Amino acid sequence: MPANRKAYRAALLHSLADPAEAGIEASYEYFEDGLLVVEDGRISAIGHASELLPSLAADVEVSHYRDALITPGFIDTHIHLPQTGMVGAYGEQLLDWLNTYTFPCESQFADPAHAAEVADIFIKELLRNGTTTALVFASVHPQSVEAFFEAAQKLDLRMIAGKVMMDRNAPDYLTDSAESSYTQSRALIERWHGKGRLHYAVTPRFAPTSTPEQLTLAGQLLGEYPDLYMQTHISENLQEIEWVRELFPERKGYLDVYDHYRLLGERSVFAHGVHLCDDECARLAETGSAVAFCPTSNFFLGSGLFNLPMAEKHRLNVGIGTDVGAGTSFSILHTLNEAYKVMQLQGARLSPFKSLYLATLGGARALRLEERIGDLRPGSDADFLVLDYHATPLLSYRLRQARDIAEKLFVLMTLGDDRTVLQTYAAGRLVHQR
């Protein structure tokens, strides 16, 4: 079979390392007039157009974008499928927000037709915003995971998801039991984990809504299958932290609850971590766990400011998360704009190259997928974006004043959103065209 080869000519930018470790200049690679060659769903070459074009076979189709930037697809390390219909729920902080808005909204996923309809909307929204991989909370209903994976599989997306485990402190209509959560998760793992580009995440919602029995079984599941993910929430809100102390008085703190039940590890992602202390960051880093930084959510629920410099000090893996529906946008560009302000409010800086890293290679490292996604190196999955420098009149005008790629990138992150994403490719296939 002849290889299915295509080439894309544009400005190309991708991260090579964390700027906090490598320094900014060594953290990225940029080709002003670059060529990306894709073969059978993988990247086969990247370089200057002038160097690669002469050796390209004559029959390879070249798409040429004159005012656009190609980057890796964005990676959203924390988002909730069943909260798509409740973005912008007014007035409450975390615990009241869950009871007033979230639980009733998630209950609709008992209906498989509803789950299928929202899964379709949700995936389209991810792709419109340039997100090619996400770590996704489904609802407590196994059919919500089925609906999501079925929709993701049709487009051959690299996605990670899991059924929420929640057997206390939530309405009866939305709780499972320790045993049913184990059996249902297991069945989903058997059916989906490792199928194509799909992966399963064991998903206890957060410590307050799981009994010790359920947390024990979650830890057991992680030991029973290789390469499973674990996702949950941690230290997002002060009232929540106090509640965990009351529910688990025998543990040293919030993270220690998860540690005790063997939920830390290289494929464990903890959302928020706004109020983590130094020791907890050190323990997360030591176990190879990651944190999802969710700025729009932390602002919207009034949760607080994530301390990225502290995470960097501990060399803790951090990805960026939209956390829709507490987060207010599916757009990773918009989320990075808010992340910048989180740093500003703490007297710190967020360079555009660190933002790029968080949204791509850093997210891939948090998910231990850096051999597959997160950059444009030969061998990586061809998950990439074409970002349009003329997406809006203001962006177009503002970018004309920009002197270099650092400034262009920062402006894209400040003014950009879904309109900026002209095309999204997954495994070499066009999955969104604006």
Rank residues 298 and 420 by Cβ distance to ligand GUN and give the closer one. Answer: 298
Rounded to the nearest whole angstrom, what is the least distance from the CB of residue 302 to ligand GUN in the complex? 11
236 binds ligand GUN (CB under 6 A): yes
> Stretches 94-102, 147-155, 360-368, 378-386: which one binds ligand GUN (CB under 6 A)?
94-102
**Four-residue CA torsion sign, 64, 65, 70, 75:** negative
Does position 80 interact with ligand GUN (CB under 6 A)? The reply is yes
Confirm or reject binding of residue 323 to Zn ion (CB under 5 A). Answer: yes
Under rule CB under 6 A, residue 326 binds ligand GUN: yes
Task: In whole angstroms, give the CA distance from residue 295 to residue 343.
Answer: 10
Q: Which of 323, 375, 381, 383 binds ligand GUN (CB under 6 A)?
A: 323
Give the max Cα distance, the chain. 69
Nearest by Cα to 346 from 298, 417, 413, 282:
298
Q: How far is the CB of 78 from Zn ion (least distance, A)?
A: 6
On the 0-12 / 13-18 / 19+ scale of CB atoms within 10 A, 383 is: buried
335 touching ligand GUN, by CB under 6 A? no
233 touches ligand GUN (CB under 6 A): yes
Instruction: Answer with the entry of ligand GUN, Zn ion, none that 335 interacts with (C-beta below 5 to 8 A by kind).
Output: none
- Kindly state whether residue 144 participates in binding ligand GUN, applying the rule CB under 6 A: no
Residue (289 or 380) nearer to ligand GUN, CB? 289
d(CA 356, CA 199) in angstroms, rounded, equals 24
- Select the residue whose beta carbon is closest to Zn ion and give its number: 323
Beta strands across the sheet bearing 5-15: 42-48, 28-39, 5-15, 61-72, 384-388, 421-426, 429-433
Stretch that binds Zn ion, among 67-75, 187-195, 270-278, 299-307 (CB under 5 A): 270-278
Size of the site for Zn ion (CB under 5 A): 2
Q: Tell the smallest beta-carbon distance from residue 106 to ligand GUN (Å).
A: 8
Instruction: For Cα atoms 241, 244, 249, give the angle at the middle one, nearest 5 degrees.
Output: 125
Which of 297, 307, 329, 423 is in the footprint of ligand GUN by CB under 6 A? 297
Look at phi and psi of residue 82 and say left if phi exceeds 0, alpha if psi is from -120 to 50, else beta. alpha
Cis peptide before 325 (omega within 30 of 0): yes
- Give the C-alpha separation, 304 to 298, whole Å: 6
d(CA 149, CA 154): 9
Among 31, 206, 229, 258, binds ligand GUN (CB under 6 A): 206
**In the complex, least distance from residue 166 CB atom to ligand GUN, rounded to whole angstroms:** 9
Query: Residue 102's binding partner, choosing from ligand GUN, Zn ion, none, with beta-carbon cut-off 5 to 8 A by kind?
Result: ligand GUN
Cβ 161 vs Cβ 169: under 8 Å: no
What's the sign of the alpha-carbon dihedral 63, 68, 69, 74?
negative
Task: Write out the residues near Zn ion by the rule CB under 5 A.
Answer: 271, 323
Task: Write out the residues near ligand GUN by the rule CB under 6 A.
Answer: 80, 94, 98, 102, 205-206, 233, 236, 297, 323, 326
